[in-house]
């Protein structure tokens, strides 16, 4: 998990950023909710192989677009401007959420519209400098998945 955390960090996302997103999603349903409790669920999600593969692949695409090394320049432009109808970024995010059930998918849809904390920050980043088209959805999916697991364990 250290590798995936280091990679996220290098792209501007700390574990605390993700914890804040989980907190945003779960606070309404818990009287007491501590960071320590949330960490367990975030770690659990980040430890899953298929989640790691989605993170690596999404970030690899973001970086490739920044470095302009993709052959397909039209695709590069679509990803660079985070075109709302591109859709593959969400497909990758759903690949993460699906592993955590229908609550994770609902959480993702909500957080993707509300864009709290780091998600909003990534989304507002200057597209001429940085590409976070995949990363913002991936962070949303990790938080949505951790929140879903937390909700299931509560009962």
Residues that bind a second copy (CB under 8 A): 7, 49-50, 53-54, 56-57, 59-61, 63-64, 67, 69-72, 74-75, 78, 84-88, 90-92, 94-95, 98-103, 105-110, 112-113, 151-152, 155
Q: How many CA atoms lie within 13 A of 103 on its CB side?
A: 13
- Give the shortest CB-60-to-a second copy separation in angstroms: 5
**Minimum distance of a second copy from residue 44's CB (angstroms):** 14
> Which one, 56 or 130, has the nearer CB to a second copy?
56
Q: Name the DSSP letter for residue 71.
A: S
Rounded to 5°, angle at Cα 39 from 36 and 40: 100
Using CA atoms, how far apart are residues 141 and 136, in angstroms rounded to an integer?
9
Q: What are the tokens at 58?
A: 């999404």
Q: Which is nearer to a second copy, 4 or 39 (CB)?
A: 4
């Amino acid at each position: 998990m250290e590798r995936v955390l280091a990679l996220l960090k290098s792209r501007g996302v700390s574990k605390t950023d993700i914890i804040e997103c989980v907190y945003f999603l779960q606070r309404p349903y818990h009287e007491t909710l501590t960071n320590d409790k949330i960490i367990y669920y975030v770690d659990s999600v980040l430890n899953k192989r298929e989640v790691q593969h989605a993170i690596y692949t999404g970030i690899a695409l973001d970086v490739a677009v920044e470095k302009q090394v993709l052959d397909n320049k039209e695709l590069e432009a679509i990803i660079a401007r985070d075109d709302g109808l591109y859709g593959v970024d969400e497909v990758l995010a759903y690949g993460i959420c699906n592993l955590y059930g229908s609550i994770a998918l609902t959480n993702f849809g909500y957080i993707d519209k509300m864009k709290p904390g780091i998600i909003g920050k990534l989304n507002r980043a200057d597209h001429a400098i940085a590409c976070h088209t995949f990363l913002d959805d991936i962070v949303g999916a990790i938080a949505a998945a951790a929140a879903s697991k937390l909700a299931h364990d509560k009962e």
